[in-house]
Structures are given as structure tokens and as C-alpha cells.
Amino acid sequence: MKPRSFFYPLLGCLLLLGAWELLGRSGALGKTLPALSQVLSVFLDAPRRALLLRSAAATLGSAAIGYAAGACAGAAVAVLAHLVPILRGGLDRMAVLVNALPVIALGPILIITAGREDTPAALASVPVFFLLYISTGLGLRATSHRLDLMFTTLGAGRWQRLMKLESVAALPSILSGMKIAAGSAMIGAIVGEWFGAPTGLGIVVLNSMENFQIPLLWATVIVIAAITLASYGLLTLAERAARRRIG
């Protein structure tokens, strides 16, 4: 990694955090934007720090379950559409319909069908399903025609071409979709918690707003952003490793 590629993003983050501190201290935006030092003091308070850790664990668990379920379902349906082209048109429309459904509208339905505790995971899986369906399908169809023809000439069957050629070529696209889906899973889980989940970062956000605990609200946002960025970073490293291995 070049020093500049590390230095400039770091400088940008420091400038942003410094501007946040100055704006908060000046009171230019009122009480809705406390100084960064006030927000960070929340993490030094043992009871509130414990609350954030418990809530983060609950939200991360729901997001992980929804992420895994949505990713597996999306990839499986994409493989089915690839193997049986006659089904692709209908499955494409189904995926678009699933993605077009408003998350807020799905919440009450999932409460009745899945229950309040499982609604965050169910809502997290919806956007992940769509993103993995699209990225997997595009990756499978992007396989080199020459390589596919060579495998066919050498006597490889449909399943062999899928496992040894198309799935390998599709891996970077799949990982790219998984990278984008990480943030969507967190958002889905948090929104799902608003429909009556017993615990989670979404509940902390609502309670902080209702009780006007603005530093706690911003601290929760920082935790959500940190989890999302960490997931994105790990999947970015996996994507780069896959591209290097294939290339």
C-alpha cells in the first residue's frame, strides 16, 4: 500500500472529526449535534457502554443470520436460473418484486408470521437476497465463452462446468455483492428491531430519540457505522484475494 493512499483518507477523517468537534462546541446546530468529545464520553460510562455492547451483539446476531440466509437463498436461486434458462425471466421478476417491497410494509407481516424476535433477521435477509441473486447471476453469465467452449470440447458436463469454471469466474462478482449486502443487512436488522424486538441497537436509537439522549444516540450511530465498515473492509480484503488468485 502506497503511503499516499493511507495518508489522504486518514487526513480526511481527522478533518471531519475536527469539524464535528468544533461545530458541536459552537452550538451552531443546536443540541442535535453534540461535540465529538461528548459522544465519546458515552463509551467511558460503564452502564451505557454495557448497554451498547449488549445491543450491538443482538443486532449483529440478527444481521448475521439474515445475511447468511439471504446470501444462500439468493445464490441458490441465481444458480437455478443459470442452469434452467427458461426459469430466468420469472425468477428475475420475483427478485425485483422482493426488492421493491418496502421494508416498513414487510415488518407487520413478518411479526405475524415470524414473530417479533425473528423479524430483524428476516428483514435483514430481504435486501441481501436481491443483491446476491443479481451479483451471482451476473458473475455466472460473465464466464469466458472460449473457456466454456474448451471445457465442453474436453467433455466436461454441465455440472462440471458450473463447479470448475463458472463458479470460480463468478467468485469476484459474488464477493462484491456480499460486500455491498453487509450494510443492507445491518439496516434491515435495525429497522426490524423497531417492530418490537426486545433488544438491539435499533431499540437504543428509538429510546434515545424519545428521551432526547442525543450523545447516546450519536454513540449508537458510531457503533453501527463501525460494525458496517468493519464488515465491508473484511469482505473487500476477501474480494481482492479472490481476484488475485483468479488473475
Q: Centre a 10 Å sphere on the Cβ of residue 74 and count the other Cβ atoms it contains.
A: 28
For position 108, what pLDDT does the model report?
A: 83
Distance CA 245, CA 247 (A): 6
For position 215, what pLDDT does the model report?
A: 92
Report if residue 6 sits inside a domain: no
For position 189, what pLDDT does the model report?
A: 92
| CATH number assigned to the domain comprising residue 107 | 1.10.3720.10
For position 144, what pLDDT does the model report?
A: 59
Task: Summarize pLDDT for 118-145 with one digit per residue, the tens.
Answer: 899 999 999 999 999 999 988 888 775 6
Residue 155, pLDDT above cutoff 90:
no
Report if residue 120 sits inside a domain: yes
Mean pLDDT to the nearest integer, 199-220: 91
Mean pLDDT to the nearest integer, 56-77: 94
Report if residue 152 sits inside a domain: yes
Q: Enter the DSSP assignment of 155.
A: T
Q: Taking Cα atoms as reference points, which of 137, 120, 211, 209 lies closest to residue 173?
A: 137
Mean pLDDT to the nearest integer, 99-121: 83
% pLDDT > 90, the chain: 38
Report if residue 14 sits inside a domain: no
Report if residue 15 sits inside a domain: no
Report if residue 5 sits inside a domain: no
Dihedral (C-alpha) 59, 62, 67, 73: value to the nearest 10 degrees?
-160
Expressed as residue numbers, the domain containing 142 is 37-246
Is the pLDDT higher at 239 or at 227? 227
Report if residue 19 sits inside a domain: no
The answer to whether residues 181 and 71 touch, using CB atoms and an 8 Å cutoff, is yes
Residue 1, pLDDT above cutoff 60:
no
Task: Summarize pLDDT for 20-39 with one digit per residue, the tens.
Answer: 888 888 877 778 888 889 99
Q: How confident is the model at residue 247 (pLDDT cuts 50, 70, 90)?
A: low
Report if residue 27 sits inside a domain: no
Q: Bin 30: left if φ > 0, else alpha if -120 < ψ < 50, else beta.
A: left
Distance CA 171, CA 87 (A): 23
Lowest-confidence pick of 16-20, 165-169, 196-200, 214-218:
165-169
Domain count along the chain: 1
Is the pLDDT higher at 118 or at 165? 118
For position 51, what pLDDT does the model report?
A: 93
**What's the mean per-residue pLDDT of the chain?**
85
Q: How confident is the model at residue 3 (pLDDT cuts 50, 70, 90)?
A: low
Residue 13, pLDDT above cutoff 90:
no
